[in-house]
Amino acid sequence: MGVPVLTTKTKWNDVEDYLNKGGISGFALESSLDELVKGALKLLRDKQVYERMSINGIKKARNYDWDNIAEQTESYYLSLIN
């Protein structure tokens, strides 16, 4: 959708790694209202940051296109057969 992600860091997931791979596409912030507000304001006030994160997110999402995933899965299974 091209909307940068605002999320909180937790010890149970690697969302920060996901956001940073292939270009930063959002903020993983400390779990507090102040931090979430700061992140939202940064995106609202800095158009360049918003646009860069938006473009990076769209590029990243292409890797998760169903047709792409189906082709990768088929290729993997064919490699196992051969």
Residue-wise pLDDT for 17-45, tens only, equals 888 876 799 998 988 999 999 999 999 99
Are the CB atoms for 28 and 8 separated by under 8 Å?
A: yes
For 8, the enclosing helix (H) or strand (E) is strand 5-8
Numbers of helices and strands, H then E, in the chain: 4, 2
Q: What is the pLDDT at residue 73? A: 93
Strands 26-29 and 5-8: parallel
| pLDDT attached to residue 34 | 95
Torsion sign (Cα): 70, 3, 17, 49: positive
Own/partner pairs for 10-14, CB < 8 Å, 24+ apart?
Answer: none
